[in-house]
Structure 1
Amino acid sequence: MNELLSLRNEVDELRHQVQTDALTGLYNFRFFSNILPLEMERSRRSSVPLSLIILDIDHFKQFNDTWGHELGNQALQHVSQLIKVAIRKLDFACRFGGEEFAVILPGTEIHQALNVAERLRLLIVNSEFKINKKDVQITASLGVDEFKSTDDYTVQEFIERVDSRLYQAKAAGRNLVKGPIDTPLVTDTNVTADEKDALFDLFNDADD
């Protein structure tokens, strides 16, 4: 019995490793590529919306050139932790590649998704990231779009739509959220108690 339990634990651990990005602890691109088509199909069948955010850390190459790849990796981990703080348990946060991240938001229409993205942008720009006891500001650009059950575009077309919003944010000056609609974002910028605890632990770890 113990041997069977141990084997199951090993299988679970291997499954976790296969779908997890080693640096950030988020889901990896392979998982993203598998889960997004499933969520789009679920959206079609259940007639509920699905939203996707693609986030890119601004001027990350310059950051690496200035501070080095090790601190660049720490910045990626820092942003990853903020993403975890900002989203729900039912959402999927993935490392999309390099300094890009993707967040799949099941059951979420565009206005809600824009608010999530703006809240995440604010968390990143207002967070502390210290290098040699000096505050270094990190910002991010975010693209957002919605998939409706009546939409007929493919997975790749959906990703390209969101990616185009991201490039709009970059072209407009970075540190922005862009989506298919221009509407005032009614974002609750108050940090919850859980978020305060998570951010406090995160910043304490960064200072160690």
Structure 2
Amino acid sequence: MPFRNRQEAGTRLAAALASFKAQCPVVLALPRGGVPVAAEVAVRLAAPLDLVLVRKIGAPGQPELAMGAVAEGDPPVTLRNELVVRALRIEEREFERVRDRELIEIERRRQAYLGDRPRIDVAGRLAILVDDGIATGMTIRAAARAMASRRPSRVVIAAPVAALDVATDLRREIGDVVCLEEYEHLFAIGRHYADFSQVSDEDVRLILSRQPSLVA
């Protein structure tokens, strides 16, 4: 196994991102699995930690198959996986129904994790988006587009493990992508962790409570 757990993966990822420390970055985690990884990065880069709330839009009857993704924003950012939508003949009404359900979950998570705590202003700053792995790339793409509307000076995508073709595409689309392990055939992110236990809402709240103030 390349990684014992998300904390160790975050420590190693932080080392790969060390050159960005001098730029006073903001670290933004994709909940829930990205939060313990991002927390280690934030500590070692002396950076504030915030969240970017995004959800996969799972195909009907196959929730693990992404037919799109939606990220927080005004308006929210919605991406469609046209290959899946066409292959499964997903009607627009059904796509919107699942998307709207995920938007409700995004709002629930915002209240559960952040409450009335102010968000970090990333305008003009380096934003590092962190997840525990990148498989299809749908959620990280949605997160990056949502972040672009907040006008950071630069966006860096970072993850311990990623599918090689997706990481390559992200580099063409976005630019900076830092991954420790890239695989031609990435069947499941959890296979690359000895401990890939589910991260709970309480885990996220506890991690955030241990970080410096979200306002940097």
Shorter-chain TM range is under 0.3
Structure with bigger strand share is 2
Who wins on radius of gyration, i.e. which is larger? Answer: 1
Structure with bigger helix share is 1
Q: Give TM-score, length-normalised by structure 1.
A: 0.28
Q: Give TM-score, length-normalised by structure 2.
A: 0.27
